[in-house]
Amino acid sequence: MSTTIKIKHLNQYYGRKQALKDVSLTIRTGMFGLLGRNGAGKTTLMKVIATLLPKSEGTVSVCGRSTQSAGEVRKIVGYLPQEFSMYPNMTVYEAMDYLGVLSGLGKAERRERIKELLERVNLTDDRRKKVKALSGGMKRRLGIAQAILHDPKVLIVDEPTAGLDPEERVRFRNLLCEIAEDRIVILSTHIVGDIEATCEDIAVLDEGSVIYQGTVPDLVSMTEGKVYSAQISKRELELLKKDYIVTSMLTLGNNVMARFLAEEKPFSSAKLCEAGVEDAYMYLMHMERGIPE
C-alpha cells in the first residue's frame, strides 16, 4: 500500500473567495511543514486532507485512498485542530476512552494505548484531572495523545505550538519528531523556528498558492550569500528598510544591529552572514510580492 499523500491541482472555494489555488503536493513519511502567514490557506488544506471539508476541484489521495471515501481516510488519519477542547466534566482518562471508542478500539486495546500515550505525553499523573482544569500546554499534549490514539498512518496538526511557552514548545516539537519516525506528520505553523528544528520537507503557502516546495536546506540555499548584517543608527535603519528586506534587528543603545537581504554587498560595513530559514522565508515572501523599492 502507498505511504504518501498525493494532492493534484486542488482548488478550494469559499463562495466567491478562492482559498486554495491549484495546489499540487506529494508528502512522504516524516515531518512535513506547512509554512505561511495567517490566512494563507494552511488550515483549509489540512481540513481537506482530514475530510473535514469537501474539495472543490482536483484530487487528494491519502495512502492510496481518495478523500471522497471519507470513512476509509478517517481510519488512518489523526487530526489535531488549532482550537479544540473536550467535554469539560470528563477526566483526562475518560475523554481519551470516549474518543478511543469512537475510533473503534477494543477495551483491552484502549486501556493499553491510553496508558502508553499518557505516559508519552507526560500526563499520567493528571489522568484523573478534569479536562476543564488543564493548562493550555497540558491540553495540547492531551490533543496529540488523542490524535495518535488509533495509531494513524497520517497525523495532521494545525498550529500546535501557538500559545505554548518556550520550554513546552521544544518538548512538543521533540514529541512530534518521535511520532514522525514511522508515519507522515503534517505540521502547520507561522513560526519559522518550529520548521527549522523539525522538518525535512516543507511547503510554503501564500494566498492559497504553493510558492515553495522542497527541503529546508534547499530553501536556505536560495539566500546563500545574500544575508548581511550591519550596525547602523536608527535613522539609517529607515533608509535601509526602503531598499532592502530587513529580516531581524537588535537594538543596541542608539544603534541597531540589522540583518537584511541584498543581492550583493551594499556598503563596506555590512558583513556577510550565514543564511537561516527565517531569512529564506522572508526572501521568498517578498519575491512573491515584489521587493520593496
Q: Which is nearer to other proteins, 2 or 68 (CB)?
A: 68
CB of 248 to other proteins, least distance (A): 31
Q: How many of the other CB atoms lie within 10 Å of CB of 16?
A: 5
Taking CB under 8 A as the criterion, the residue among 34, 60, 63, 86 binding other proteins is: 86
| 50 contributes a contact to other proteins by CB under 8 A | yes
| 161 contributes a contact to other proteins by CB under 8 A | no
At residue 225, φ and ψ (nearest 5 deg) are 75, 10
Q: Which is nearer to other proteins, 65 or 259 (CB)?
A: 65
Q: Which listed range, 18-26, 99-107, 174-182, 275-283, lies at the site for other proteins (CB under 8 A)?
A: 99-107
Site residues (CB under 8 A) for other proteins, limited to 10-49:
47
| 185 contributes a contact to other proteins by CB under 8 A | no
CA atoms within 13 A on the CB side of 260: 26
Q: With contact defined as beta carbons under 8 Å apart, do 25 and 7 qualify?
A: yes
| 184 contributes a contact to other proteins by CB under 8 A | no
Taking CB under 8 A as the criterion, the residue among 89, 174, 215, 221 binding other proteins is: 89
Integer Cα distance of 2 and 202 in angstroms? 20
- Amino acid occupying residue 151: D
Nearest to 243 by CA among 262, 224, 271, 222: 262
Taking each helix axis as running N to C, give the angle between helix 92-102 and helix 107-120, from 0 to 180 degrees, rounded to the nearest 10: 130
Q: Which is nearer to other proteins, 141 or 226 (CB)?
A: 141
| 162 contributes a contact to other proteins by CB under 8 A | no
**Paired residues of 87 in beta bridges:** none
Integer Cα distance of 70 and 123 in angstroms? 31
Binders of other proteins: how many residues, by CB under 8 A? 31
Q: With contact defined as beta carbons under 8 Å apart, do 263 and 286 qualify?
A: no
Q: Which residues bind other proteins (CB under 8 A)?
A: 47, 50-54, 70-71, 74-75, 77-79, 81, 83-89, 97-99, 101-104, 107, 146, 150
